[in-house]
Amino acid sequence: MTTGKIIKALSGFYYVKAENGEIFQCRGRGVFRKNKVTPLVGDIVDFEESNPGEGYVLDIKSRKNELVRPPVANIDQAIIVVSAVKPAFSTLLLDRFLVLVESKQIQPVIFISKMDMVDQREKAAILRYQEDYQRIGYLVQLVSSKQEEGLAEAEKLIKDKISVIAGQSGVGKSSLLNAVNPRLNLETNEISESLGRGKHTTRHVELVEINGGFVADTPGFSSLEFADILLEDLPDCFPEMRERQGDCKFRGCMHHKEPKCAVKAAVEMEEIPEYRYQHYLQFFEEIQNRKPRY
């Protein structure tokens, strides 16, 4: 029996990279189907070789996390790519991505792309936002694929980790990965502008090896809806609220209409950006008004 990592899943086959670097095309044992368990890309598995280069997955080690869209397990970080311009920088969209990633207990890293295209006024605004998010505790890297700005730092962040990349259409996700590792040659127009959907969507997910780490080569989160987030869990998806929770007068404070709320006080004192709190209220309302699923 050998241990390895599933790096690709395609048409019922699992491509497992063994610790010695060899890749085996494996099938899953019937017991997985019976127990309604699906091996995922990123899983650490035990497998048995049946023929040269082929085998069967026998056991899946316990996962530290998993995503449904894209279906990947044991993710170390989600790289959220937002562009400074074209499309315009949006704190609302960035906060949606952050909440989705936080809800899965995955470490987010923020890349702001296309920094070569900003004018002085736009750059000053981006630097202010960078400061805001860094104060919350997020790592924010400014990058430009064309001018190779921030690429060395991006390489270091990818090394030795499994990363998923998320970001809306046209922000330069593939350009960024190609700039970090030119051998990849990913199709830069991987998202059809008119459809807003991936041309090679989640039919297959693959971990691409880049600089000693793995990146999921698939469009990131195919849905930006908060379908799986419970209302009471929303404050935990905002780190600046999570750390002030104990200072609120009421246990389980939702930082909405309750009196003596430490979060609302921090917003008034400008310790928490007003726009972050407004987005929180917007998401709160969205989850509260969500139609129940039966």
Residue, of 174 and 37, whose pLDDT is higher = 37
**Percentage of the chain with pLDDT > 90?**
57
Task: Give strand ranges (E) for the chain.
Answer: 2-10, 13-18, 23-28, 44-51, 54-60, 66-67, 72-73, 77-83, 107-113, 139-142, 162-166, 191-192, 197-198, 205-210, 213-216
User: Looking at the predicted structure, is the pLDDT value of residue 258 above 50?
Assistant: yes
On the question of pLDDT at 43 being above 50, the answer is: yes
Asked if residues 254 and 285 have their Cβ atoms less than 8 Å apart, the reply is no
pLDDT of amino acid 199: 44
Rounded Cα gap, residues 184 and 135, in angstroms = 34
Domains contained in the chain, CATH given: 2-62 (2.40.50.140), 67-216 (3.40.50.300), 231-288 (1.10.40.50)
User: To which residue do tokens 């080690």 refer?
Assistant: 61
pLDDT in tens, 92-140: 999 999 999 999 889 999 999 999 999 999 999 999 999 999 999 999 9
User: What global pTM score does this model have?
Assistant: 0.84
Do residues 20 and 14 make contact, with C-beta atoms less than 8 angstroms apart? Answer: no
